[in-house]
Structure 1
Amino acid sequence: MGGACSRKRDHQVIEDSVRSRFSARFSKSGSSRWLGTSFSPRSGVYIQGGRGKCPSLMELCIHKICEQGIGNYHSFSVLPRDISQQIFNELVDRQCLTDASLEAFRDCALQDIYLGGYPGTTDGWMGVICSQGSSLLSVDISGSDITDSGLVLLKDCPNLQNLIFDYCGRISDRGLENIQGLSNLTSLSFKKSSKITGQGMIAFANLVNLVNLDLERCGGIHGGLIHLKGLTKLESLNLRCCNCITDADMKSLSGLANLKELQMSSNKVTDAGVGYLEGLHKLSLLNMEGCPVTAACLDTLSGLVELSHLNLNRCELSDVGCEKFAGLVKLKILNLGFNNITDACIVHLKGLTNLESLNLDSCKIRDEGLANLAGLLNLKSLELSDTEVGNSGLRHFSSLVNLETINLSFTLVTDGGMRNLSRLTSLKSLNLDTRQITDSGLEALTGLSGLTHLDLFGARITDLGTNYFRYFKNLRSLELCGGGITDAGVKNIKGLVSLTLLNLSQNCHLTDKSLESISGLTALVSLNVSNSRVTDAGLVHLRPLKNLRSLSLESCKVTAGELRKLQLTALPNLMFVRPE
Structure 2
Amino acid sequence: PPSAPAPRATDRGHRPDMDICLGEYPGVKDAWMEVVASQRQSLLSVDISCSEVTDSGLNFLSDCSNMQSLSCNYCEHVSEHGLGVLSGFSNLTSLSFKRSDGVTAKGMSVFANLVNLVNLDLERCLKIHGGLVHMKGLRKLESLNMRYCNYITDSDIKYLSDLTNLKELQLSSCRITDLGISYLTGLSKLTHLNLESCPVTAACLEAISGLASLMLLNLNRCGIYDEGCESFEDLKKLKVLNLGFNHITDACLVHLKGLINLESLNLDSCKIGDEGLLHLKGLVLLTSLELSDTAIGSNGLRHLSDLRNLYSINLSFTLVTDTGMKKISTLNSLKSVNLDNRLITDVGLAALIGLTGLTHLDLFGARVTDHGTSFLRYFKNLESLEVCGGSITDAGVKNIKDLKALTLLNLSQNGKLTDKTLELISGLTALICLNVSNSRVSNTGLRHLKALQNLRSLTLDSCRVTANEMKKLRVTALPNLISVRPE
Please report the TM-score for the alignment, with normalisation by the length of structure 2: 0.97
Q: How does 1:445-484 map to 2 (within 5 A)?
A: 445-484=352-391
Q: Which stretch shows the higher mean deviation, 251-260 or 528-537?
A: 528-537
Q: Structure 2 CA distance, aligned partners of 1:77 and 1:246?
A: 47
Contact residue 109 and residue 133 of structure 1 kept, 8 A: no
Q: How does 1:109-128 map to 2 (within 5 A)?
A: 111-128=18-35
Q: Identity, % of aligned pairs?
A: 66
For residue 516 of structure 1, the aligned residue among 413, 423, 436 is: 423
Matched, 1:296 2:203: yes
Q: Alpha-carbon deviation of 1:545?
A: 1.3
Q: How does 1:368-379 map to 2 (within 5 A)?
A: 368-379=275-286
For residue 173 of structure 1, the aligned residue among 68, 77, 80 is: 80
| Residue of structure 1 in register with 2:261 after alignment | 354
AA in 2 matched with 1:389: I
AA in 1 matched with 2:422: L
For residue 252 of structure 1, the aligned residue among 159, 180, 202 is: 159
Q: Secondary structure at the match of 1:137?
A: strand
Q: Alpha-carbon deviation of 1:134?
A: 1.3
AA in 1 matched with 2:242: N
Q: Secondary structure at the match of 1:539?
A: helix
Contact residue 391 and residue 414 of structure 2 kept, 8 A: yes
Q: Which stretch shows the higher mean deviation, 119-128 or 255-264?
A: 119-128
Q: How does 1:84-483 map to 2 (within 5 A)?
A: 111-483=18-390
Q: Structure 2 CA distance, aligned partners of 1:551 and 1:528?
A: 6
Paired residue total: 484
Q: Structure 2 CA distance, aligned partners of 1:449 and 1:138?
A: 46
* Structure 1 residues 80 and 422, CA gap change in structure 2 (3 angstroms): farther
* CA offset digits 1:90-127 (Å, max 9, x no partner): xxxxxxxxxxxxxxxxx975612112111111111111
* CA offset digits 1:484-507 (Å, max 9, x no partner): 111111121111111111111111
Contact residue 322 and residue 343 of structure 2 kept, 8 A: yes
Q: Alpha-carbon deviation of 1:76?
A: 6.5
* CA offset digits 1:490-532 (Å, max 9, x no partner): 1211111111111111111111111111111111111111111
* CA offset digits 1:236-269 (Å, max 9, x no partner): 0000011111000000100000000000000100
For residue 475 of structure 2, the aligned residue among 554, 561, 568 is: 568
Q: Structure 1 CA distance, aligned partners of 2:364 and 2:319?
A: 16
* Structure 1 residues 501 and 80, CA gap change in structure 2 (3 angstroms): farther
AA in 2 matched with 1:569: T
| Residue of structure 2 in register with 1:537 after alignment | 444
Q: Structure 2 CA distance, aligned partners of 1:293 and 1:449?
A: 43
AA in 1 matched with 2:45: S
Q: Structure 2 CA distance, aligned partners of 1:77 and 1:502?
A: 45
Matched, 1:549 2:450: no
Contact residue 115 and residue 138 of structure 2 kept, 8 A: yes
AA in 1 matched with 2:158: K
Q: Which stretch shows the higher mean deviation, 403-412 or 138-147?
A: 138-147
Q: Alpha-carbon deviation of 1:194?
A: 2.6
AA in 1 matched with 2:368: I
AA in 2 matched with 1:371: L
Q: Which stretch shows the higher mean deviation, 191-200 or 495-504?
A: 191-200
Contact residue 154 and residue 179 of structure 1 kept, 8 A: no
Q: Report the RMSD for the aligned CA atoms in angstroms.
A: 1.6
Q: Alpha-carbon deviation of 1:317?
A: 0.6
Q: Structure 2 CA distance, aligned partners of 1:148 and 1:543?
A: 48
AA in 2 matched with 1:447: G
Q: Structure 2 CA distance, aligned partners of 1:449 and 1:499?
A: 14
Contact residue 9 and residue 16 of structure 2 kept, 8 A: no
AA in 1 matched with 2:222: C
Q: Alpha-carbon deviation of 1:569?
A: 1.8
Q: Structure 1 CA distance, aligned partners of 2:64 and 2:233?
A: 50
| Residue of structure 2 in register with 1:8 after alignment | none
| Residue of structure 2 in register with 1:56 after alignment | none
Q: Alpha-carbon deviation of 1:482?
A: 2.2
Runs of 5+ consecutive residues of structure 2 not aligned to the other structure: none
Q: Secondary structure at the match of 2:398?
A: helix
Q: Alpha-carbon deviation of 1:174?
A: 1.2
Q: Structure 1 CA distance, aligned partners of 2:67 and 2:49?
A: 16
| Residue of structure 2 in register with 1:40 after alignment | none
Q: Alpha-carbon deviation of 1:426?
A: 0.4
Contact residue 76 and residue 108 of structure 1 kept, 8 A: no
Please report the TM-score for the alignment, with normalisation by the length of structure 1: 0.82
Q: Which stretch shows the higher mean deviation, 248-257 or 202-211?
A: 202-211
Contact residue 4 and residue 35 of structure 2 kept, 8 A: no
Q: Structure 2 CA distance, aligned partners of 1:80 and 1:535?
A: 60
Contact residue 77 and residue 108 of structure 1 kept, 8 A: no
Q: Structure 1 CA distance, aligned partners of 2:31 and 2:470?
A: 36
Q: Structure 2 CA distance, aligned partners of 1:427 and 1:184?
A: 47
Q: Secondary structure at the match of 2:254?
A: helix
Q: Structure 2 CA distance, aligned partners of 1:517 and 1:333?
A: 41
Q: Alpha-carbon deviation of 1:77?
A: 3.8
- Moved runs in structure 1, 4+ residues, more than 6 A? none
Q: Structure 2 CA distance, aligned partners of 1:388 and 1:305?
A: 32
Q: Structure 1 CA distance, aligned partners of 2:333 and 2:404?
A: 21
AA in 2 matched with 1:425: N
AA in 1 matched with 2:48: I
